[in-house]
Structure 1
Amino acid sequence: MEPAQKERTPFSDIDGLTAQMSEMVLAALTEMGQHPEIRRVRRAGFDALRPALGARLLDAGSGSGEVARRLAAEVGPRGEVTALDYSAAITAAAIARHDKSNVRYVTGDVGALDLADDCVDGVWCERVLQHVDDADRAIGELCRVTRPGGRICLIDTDWESLAFDGVPPRLWDEVWSYVGGHFTPKQRDMGRTLRRRLVAAGLTGLTATPVTCLFGSPDSAAVVLPMVNPRVPEDAWQTPPGLRDEWLACVEAAGARGDFLAVLTIWVVAGTV
């Protein structure tokens, strides 16, 4: 069976990257997880999932495992967290960072889970579905492995909500026309579609929380937004000569003036199977 992940952004096919790029992506994932705005998103997710002591949880698309390890602390020693990621390299990095909590690290495809029916009490799936070929198939798999009455929490980005202030709108529109297709997934509106998808999957007790992330400086924004990050290699931009440098210079100038602003909405949607 073909994997569910799309081969579009670096986050979609980490094992296919060079060692240098793989390390860069891992560092980016770690840095994002430490960002105050991403932590705010995750707090909303924990409130929606409501992990209980003794629960068996699945972190579907677990990255370097920081959320899985936090979930393990919530469910306690009698609970268990399965941290599943598509990338063997990222899974190895997660294992290297293991803190002896009750987390089991595995590789797998969210669209074809090698897990039994009704085997977990809850699922966390953060910023994964935007990268898969068939999000509804993946949601079906998450529902299949969750026992009746279990809770599923989906977190994903609405990239079409991305907006800037302090930089020329015309210039951003031109940059977006080039970088939008390879700095963001094809499914740019995934975040706002999550509630509809869970309704279609038959979940009840739905909650949907849009978290607007605010970035008041280029340095803060660059942690989450590759299009303002000067560390992203120049050949990844695929823009006409001079456009990248002009854009980044405007971003830097806005930061120096103190009037730079970027906003991005990330949705936290949860429901009961």
Structure 2
Amino acid sequence: SATTAAPQGFSFDEKTAQQLSMIYMTEDIRAMQRQYRAWFDPKPGERILDVGCGTGVNSLAIAKLVGPSGKVTGIDNSEPMLNLAVAGASADNVEYRKLAVERMDFPEDSFDGVVCTQVLGYLSDPIPVIRSLLRVVKPTGRLFIAETDWDTLAYSIADKELQRKVTMAFADHHGDGWVGRRLYNWCEQAGAREIELHPYVIHNTEYSARRYGGPLSYVIRDYLLRTKKWPEAEVKRWLQLLSEAFDDRTYFFLLTRLVCILRK
């Protein structure tokens, strides 16, 4: 069975949960989630499962689209993340459960749609999990999976070699930095009848708290200092180069995500 495979040092503690909550509020992620929902296309009255629901931002947005006759069930294995979800905005047609995806207990054909975002990279064996997600989707439904290819993480700074080192050091922070490029083949191996593929590129030229690359750089900083034991001076220099690049208008951020929409 699949097991969680996040390396030691990267955990969803309260600090990380707060950092990720800030990232979810950035304009880039809000725009991405709007595009995700357009591809997923929730309809009034549908029953939706949100796997790895995190702070519940997407669950609530989907709940508005399925309306009072629909229902969204959000599951996550991180208590700090779920605490933020429960403490945040609420809706009558949303419920949250602390549940690991590999221990799902929903009956077959339970949901019109399943959303699974940024989850598979934390698992040692994702293919059986994809199969189990397909199992709980109705024959007329769809499974939406989105993952990041962390090797594509790109900040434009003056020191090319330093940025390459940072990207490679952070890429496997949650297990498999290539999960994005592996996703389509995993879906094929899981037995999906139909797979619709969409790449999504996050990019911007503004290094600030309201853009994804800003708060992400501080998640990377904490990870490098805590887990990779990088010299603090080198990490500080990297952050300084990001600020300098923005000041002299050479800053650019880019990251690629892959979306697969499966039907069984």
Aligned equivalents of 1:193, 1:50: Cα separation in 2: 24
Under a length normalisation based on structure 1, what TM-score does the superposition of the two structures give?
Answer: 0.86
| In structure 1, distance between residues paired with 2:157 and 2:80 | 39
Q: For the Cα contact (< 8 Å) 2:17–2:80, is it kept in 1?
A: no
Shift of 1:48: 2.1
Q: Structure 1 residue aligned with 2:152, among 158, 161, 186?
A: 161
Which amino acid in the other structure matches residue 124 of structure 2? Answer: D
CA contact (8 A) 1:72 1:102 kept: yes
Q: After TM superposition, give the deviation of residue 186 of structure 1 in Å.
A: 2.5
Q: Is the 8 A contact 2:184 2:260 kept in 1?
A: yes
Report the number of matched residues.
261
**CA gap 1:70/1:101 in 2 versus in 1, 3 angstroms:** farther
Q: State the 1:203 CA deviation.
A: 2.2
- CA spacing shift, 1:178–1:171, aligned 2, 3 Å: same
Aligned to 2:5: 6
Say whether the 8 Å CA contact 1:237–1:244 is kept in structure 2. no
- Distance in 2, matches of 1:224 and 1:178, equals 14
Cα distance, 1:264–1:185 mapped onto 2, change above 3 Å: same
Root mean square deviation, CA, Å: 2.3
Which residue pairs with 1:224 in the alignment?
A: 216
Alignment partner of 1:223: what SS?
helix
For 1:206, give the aligned amino acid. Answer: I
Partner of 1:91: 82
Q: How does 1:241-260 map to 2 (within 5 A)?
A: 242-260=233-251
- Match for residue 181 of structure 2 among 192, 200, 214: 192
Q: SS at the partner of 1:28?
A: helix
Q: Distance in 1 between matches of 2:229 and 2:170?
A: 7
Q: Which range moves more in the overlay, 64-73 or 196-205?
A: 196-205
Residue-by-residue CA offset, 1:124-175 (whole Å, 9 max, x unaligned): 1111111122211221121111111211111110011112323311222333
User: For residues 78 and 178 of structure 1, do their structure 2 counterparts lie closer, same or farther at Cα, with a shift above 3 Å needed?
Assistant: closer
Work out whether residues 52 and 75 of structure 2, in 8 Å CA contact, stay in contact via their aligned partners in 1. Answer: yes
Partner of 1:208: 197
Structure 2: segments with no counterpart, 5+ residues:
none
Aligned-pair identity (%): 25
CA gap of 1:58–1:227, structure 2 versus 1, over 3 A, is closer
Distance in 2, Cα, partners of 1:35 & 1:56 = 28
**Structure 1 residue identity aligned to 2:25:** Q
* Alignment deviations for residues 28-63 of structure 1 (CA, whole Å, 9 cap, x no partner): 222222222222322222122221111111000000
Residues 123 and 26 (structure 1 numbering): CA distance in 2 closer, same or farther, change over 3 Å?
same
Counterpart of 2:44 in structure 1 is 53
What TM-score, normalized by structure 2, do the two folds share? 0.89
Alpha-carbon separation, structure 1, partners of 2:170 and 2:149: 16
Work out whether 1:44 is the aligned partner of 2:43. no
Deviation string, structure 1 residues 86-114 (Cα, Å, up to 9, x no partner): 01232232122242330111011112212
